[in-house]
Amino acid sequence: MTMPDTFQEGTDWQQSSGPHVIVQVHEADCWPVDDNSGSGTKDELEDGLHPVIAIGGRTAADGRPLNVTGVVVSVLEGLTEPVDLVQVNIADGVIVRQYVSNILTYAAGSAATFETAPVVGQPVYVDDSDDLSEGVTLSMSPLNDAGVANPQAGVLWYCQDEYADASVGLGNTSATFDTSLPDEETEQEFCVLLFNGSRDLA
């Protein structure tokens, strides 16, 4: 399988018409992007890319995992790289298409167990671990490869074309949830229903 080397882009990343709660933050406070990740080789934010990210500290002492999470809408480039401003939709209930890793747990710094039968409503987390590819920010693991809690970004959900035999666009199937994944690290496109779950559960 080809591992994603760039964040979600194109026209179908947005799978719901709303809601919209747009906030503006400095790129330096967003992770895992660029060097704000375990590997330091994560894709760079550019306008037209739409990863799900966390905002704020990456350590428990700095408030993790109670970070605000959301999906990048646009990037306003500053005169110098550190002052780029990122517009993020932090609204609960927005549905976006994203690359998600099926890692469930880590052991000794490496991926240990994997989800082979994902289901609608399964929790998804912002994960800054080295195991995730350059263009992937989400996994199914509540802890990263250093054993630090990941902020929950939302849950797996249906894409617009995955409501089986719905009244509109007959013949659709929920294929994402009808097929099994390999018992190994796999990064697949899913739709994710976003909400600031970790913060709400505090």
Q: How confident is the model at residue 81 (pLDDT cuts 50, 70, 90)?
A: low
Q: Which of 28-37, 90-99, 148-157, 164-173 has the lowest mean pLDDT?
A: 164-173
SS3 150: coil
On whether the CB atoms of residues 134 and 43 are closer than 8 A, the answer is: yes
Give DSSP secondary structure letters for 19-60: ---EEEEEGGGEETSTTSSSSS-PPPP-TT---EEEES-SSG
pLDDT at position 167, please?
56
Q: How confident is the model at residue 35 (pLDDT cuts 50, 70, 90)?
A: confident
Percent of the chain predicted with pLDDT > 90: 68
How would you list the strands of the sheet with 30-31, edge to edge?
Answer: 22-26, 85-89, 68-76, 52-55, 30-31
On whether the CB atoms of residues 70 and 29 are closer than 8 A, the answer is: no
Phi, psi at residue 155, to the nearest 5°?
-140, 155
Task: State the residue for tokens 């912002």.
Answer: 126
Residue 1 has pLDDT above 60, yes or no: no
Residue 71 has pLDDT above 80, yes or no: yes
In this prediction the pTM is: 0.91
Upstream peptide bond of 32 is cis (omega within 30 degrees of 0): yes
Distance CA(42)–CA(112), nearest Å, equals 21
Average pLDDT value over all residues in the chain: 88
SS3 176: helix
113-129 pLDDT per residue, tens: 999 999 999 999 999 99
pLDDT at position 169, please?
54
Distance CA(12)–CA(164), nearest Å, equals 19
Residue 111 has pLDDT above 90, yes or no: yes
Distance CA(60)–CA(36), nearest Å, equals 15
Mean local confidence (pLDDT), 147-155: 96
pLDDT at position 12, please?
87
Tokens of 164: 């089986």
Among candidates 122, 125, 138, which has minimal Cα distance to 65? 125
In the chain, domain spans: 22-200
pLDDT at position 100, please?
97
On whether the CB atoms of residues 103 and 131 are closer than 8 A, the answer is: yes
- Beta strands 68-76 and 85-89: pairing type? antiparallel
167-180 pLDDT per residue, tens: 555 555 556 677 78
